[in-house]
Structure 1
Amino acid sequence: MRERRTVQSVERALDILEALSASDGELQLREIAQRTGINLSTCHHLLMTLMARGYAGQHLRDRSYFLGNKVFEISSMRSRQIDLVPMAMPDLRHLNRETQETVHLEVLRGTDLTTLAKLESRQAVRVGTDSFGKSNAAHATATGKAILAWLPENEMMRVIAEKGLSRFTDRTITTLAGLVEALRVVRRSGYSTDEEEFTLGVTCVGAALRDHSGAVVGAVSCSMPAMRADRAHLDAVTKAVRRCAASISNRLGDTTARNGGGGAASAA
């Protein structure tokens, strides 16, 4: 059996998190070092890194350590993603029937744009199913832009710093200034568009999904051949996507109704 290779520093950081989670209360540095078998200096440096990323915190009064909010955020996000597909599926099926177009449900996992569900178009002429490179294409897709538009600026910049602004077609946004302006339009209009920016010949419309706290947890979109995206059809699809996103968000506990049902399509 092939030996599994692990990274010692990662294992040690995880040991610290597990020690903090198993404790009935906060722990002093020496206690953490003893429980994990990590020397004090290394333990301290790892804790500083975990604190910088929000995975650990420290009381100023007695210098004790505890689990940071980031741990709970990730746990909550994972729970939402597990529940999101069955919760959203009735609305996704309705959107698929109403528009006759391909429907996507997508989220950001870390900095990767990830497809959770896809319902194919009911029409003979439909968009392709190739999603190669999509994990790096938040800036070039309707779902990606719908999510990026509502992220805190530092989180949006982290995604772009890690993934870059790769060119997929001659219509892809490849400058930060261009993307910032496109995201401003998304926030103003309440929906996003991809006009052959990820795949030539494919037009998409997307809208963000929000949970009970108002935080964006994903996006829904409709994709169609560009030849079918005339003004009337695009307007109808845009309204349907926004209604779908609002309905799913309502199921998730959002009461802001940001996505609404009106509005006409326009280029992002």
Structure 2
Amino acid sequence: MENAAPTLIGSVQRALRLLEAVGEHRQGATAKQLARKAGLPLATTYHLLRTLTHEGYLRRVDGAYVHGEAVGALGRHREVREGRDAISGALDRLRQELGAATYFATYRDGELEVVDVSEAPGTVAVEEWADFRATGNAHAIGQCLLGQLDREGRLDYLSRHRPQSLTRRTVTDSTTLLRRLEARHPGRPVLEQQEYLAGVVCAAVPIMVGAAVCTIALSLPVAQAHRLPATADRLATRVGAVVDRLSFTI
């Protein structure tokens, strides 16, 4: 049986033709000009223009129509999606190469955010049993991101998220934690052993993607703790090439 022709929604097609027509007139175009350009009846054009203007895709300026903010937002959404796809692909490659679950995280608007995680059978990611955002004192991702902030930024975070005791290894004294963060070498991986979750060791490498403070991290079961320093160093040597290919939009 031949494949059925796809169902096309005429009103959507006509609206897209109008948006394309507006894009060809940098100074804007009138409804009559757009109707002629798009090959649409004037009444249909007026109806679609009202709808597109109401939804923010067009603006009417001195009787002419120009693209609205919503059109720009579509492009930004695409950039974000493409950036996230690049991150996901990079994490998958690193996971396969390093034999460890991998993570990408950033510090945005005063909060820690794990953007993406790559895991597979045999390289399972850490279970988020305590909110990653509020427990930056306890895990490698948080320590790495906080370590890239200035003292004021660290104090701001700790004033809103007081250090929590999650395992017997967790550092909860703010003064001790601040000294520890300040003593870290800027380019070296952060190593964390069972501070967030017993049975798991982690490492995080500090990176900058544009102006964004970020990190790429990995985790291993404690039975493979002997691999952590060397695997963290391998990650550190790889992130430069990875960052060059990323276009992460905050």
TM-score class normalised by the smaller sequence: 0.5 to 0.7
Percent identical: 18
Partner of 2:234: 240
Once the two structures are TM-superposed, the CA of residue 140 in structure 1 deviates from its matched residue by 1.1
Distance 1:242 1:219 in 2: 10
1:163 maps to what in 2?
161
The aligned counterpart of 1:109 is 108
RMSD: 2.6
Partner of 1:173: 171
Pair 1:241–1:157, CA change in 2 (3 A): same
SS, match of residue 138 in structure 1: coil
- Deviation string, structure 1 residues 51-93 (Cα, Å, up to 9, x no partner): xxxxxxxxxxxxxxxxxxxxxxxxxxx9997664223233212
Aligned to 1:117, the other structure's residue is in SS state: strand
How far did residue 221 of structure 1 move?
0.6
SS in 2 for 1:139: coil
SS at match of 2:184: helix
Give the letter aligned to residue 136 of structure 1: A
Q: Calculate the TM-score normalised by the size of structure 2.
A: 0.60
Q: Secondary structure at the match of 1:197?
A: coil
Which amino acid is the alignment partner of residue 241 of structure 1?
L
For residues 210-261 of structure 1, the C-alpha deviation after alignment (integer angstroms, 9 at most, x for no partner) is: 034xx4521111011111111xx223311222134322333359xxxxxxxx
Q: Look up the SS of the partner of 1:223 in the other structure.
A: strand
CA shift, 1:113, in A, is 2.1
Which residue does 2:94 correspond to in 1? 95
Secondary structure at the aligned position of 2:106 is classed as strand
| Residue number in structure 1 paired with 2:7 | none
Residues 1-268 of structure 1: pairs in structure 2 closer than 5 A:
84-123=83-122, 126=124, 128-188=126-186, 190-212=188-210, 215-230=211-226, 233-251=227-245
Distance 1:178 1:80 in 2: 41
> CA deviation digits over 1:112-164, x for unaligned, max 9?
3222111114427x454334321101111111111111112211110011111
Task: Quickly say closer, same or farther: Cα 1:170–1:102, change in 2 above 3 A.
Answer: same
Pair 181,239 (structure 1): closer, same or farther in 2 beyond 3 Å: same
The 4+ residue runs of structure 1 with deviation greater than 4 A are: 78-84
User: Are 1:196 and 1:202, in contact at CA under 8 Å, matched by a contact in 2?
Assistant: yes
Change in Cα spacing, 1:83 to 1:169, as seen in structure 2 (3 Å) is farther
Q: Distance in 1 between matches of 2:91 and 2:125?
A: 17
Structure with higher Rg: it is 2
CA contact (8 A) 2:102 2:125 kept: no
5+ residue gaps in structure 1?
Answer: 1-77, 254-268
The unaligned stretches of length 5 or more in structure 2 are 1-76
Partners of 1:188 and 1:139 in 2: how far apart?
17
Question: TM-score with structure 1 length normalisation?
Answer: 0.56
Deviation at 1:100, TM superposition (A): 1.5
Distance 1:121 1:131, change over 3 A: farther
- CA–CA separation in structure 2 for the residues paired with 1:79 and 1:164: 37
- Quote the Cα distance in structure 2 between the aligned partners of 1:80 and 1:177: 41
Aligned length: 171
- Is 1:150–1:187's contact at 8 Å kept on the other side of the alignment? no
Q: Find the residue that maps to 2:203 and give its secondary structure.
A: strand
